[in-house]
Amino acid sequence: AQSVTQLGSHVSVSEGALVLLRCNYSSSVPPYLFWYVQYPNQGLQLLLKYTTGATLVKGINGFEAEFNKSQTSFHLRKPSVHISDTAEYFCAVSEPWGGATNKLIFGTGTLLAVQP
Amino acid sequence: DTEVTQTPKHLVMGMTNKKSLKCEQHMGHRAMYWYKQKAKKPPELMFVYSYEKLSINESVPSRFSPECPNSSLLNLHLHALQPEDSALYLCASSQTPGADGYTFGSGTRLTVV
């Protein structure tokens, strides 16, 4: 069964700093990988995704992530964060063969707090 | 239209009440999902509908009853809930098998009193 591990439940950085949020997956074959952001009292918004092809993927709001098959990782980073990036970030995986058993499974989440 | 719309946004219900949550999408997605999210926790999958048929029930108590009347609508019927069922209920949709991502609604904040 696939699973997702996010290291660090809470990350605090200063505005303008580089931030790296870690995600590792466990799956027998490379799954589809996603990063979602959740602002307080809101639903989830897709930041970026990896399915196939180029391992560095760029998303919205200046975020990017790199798929590393050998390390089974999909870490999220942003070179210079803004206070408005303060939110909960979830890494998620789904099986590429999908179909009727399609599931999106979430990691435990990382709360990013950007300080002025 | 690239949204998933959930109504109501907030709901307070007693333990003997019957209520329903509604979810609607017009993106032509053929898979729809219900997730439950407790505070400071990730969303937990409850149900998956694929082509309007229930394909996954994650051992959810029968006091939660999903319904998919057509390819654009997903309902969650609630009856005899417990206070511990208070949570944010999120609806999502996707193409199958979901390589384009899953689009989430803004959720219904449910409080059971």
List residues of B whose CB lies inside 8 A of any A CB: 4, 6, 31, 33, 40-43, 45, 48, 50, 55-56, 90, 92, 94, 96-107, 109
Residue A106 has what pLDDT?
92
pLDDT digits (tens, 9 = 90+) for A47-66: 999 988 899 999 999 999 99
Q: Given an 8 Å threshold on Cβ–Cβ distance, is B98 in contact with A106? A: no
- Backbone angle region of A72, left / alpha / beta, with phi > 0 → left and psi within -120 to 50 → alpha: left
Q: Given an 8 Å threshold on Cβ–Cβ distance, is B101 in contact with A46? A: yes
Residue B97 has what pLDDT?
64
Q: By percentage, how much of chain B surpasses pLDDT 70?
A: 96
Band of pLDDT at residue A29, cut at 50, 70 and 90 = confident
Residue B98 has what pLDDT?
67
How many other CB atoms are found less than 10 A from the CB of residue A82? 12
pLDDT digits (tens, 9 = 90+) for A54-112: 999 999 999 999 999 999 999 999 999 999 999 999 999 887 665 545 678 899 999 99
- Residues B101 and A25: their CA atoms lie apart, in Å, by 17
How many other CB atoms are found less than 10 A from the CB of residue A34? 27
Residue A95 has what pLDDT?
75
Give chain A's mean pLDDT: 91
Q: How far is CA B7 from CA A33, A58, A75, B69, B109, in A?
A: 29, 32, 34, 16, 10
- Residues 6+ positions from A77 with CB-CB distance below 8 Å: A18, A19, A20, A21, A63, A64, A65, A66
Segment B27-52 mean pLDDT:
93
Burial of A112 per CB tally in 10 Å (0-12, 13-18, 19+): buried
Asked if residues A87 and A39 have their Cβ atoms less than 8 Å apart, the reply is yes
How many other CB atoms are found less than 10 A from the CB of residue B51? 12
Residue B101 has what pLDDT?
77
Residue A98 has what pLDDT?
56
Nearest to B50, CA basis, from B26, B66, B71: B71
Say whether residue A107 is in contact with chain B using an 8 A CB cutoff.
yes
* Residue of B102, B109, B110, B111 best to disrupt the A interface, most CBs of A under 10 A: B102
- Residues A24 and A75: their CA atoms lie apart, in Å, by 8
Lowest-confidence region among A5-9, A26-30, B15-19: A26-30
- The four Cα atoms B112, A104, B72, B41 give a dihedral, to 10 degrees, of 20
Q: Is the pLDDT assigned to residue A44 strictly greater than 80?
A: yes
pLDDT digits (tens, 9 = 90+) for B50-104: 899 998 899 999 999 999 999 999 999 999 999 999 999 999 998 866 677 789 9
> Running DSSP on this structure, what letter comes out for residue A82?
-
Residue A103 has what pLDDT?
79
Band of pLDDT at residue A40, cut at 50, 70 and 90 = confident
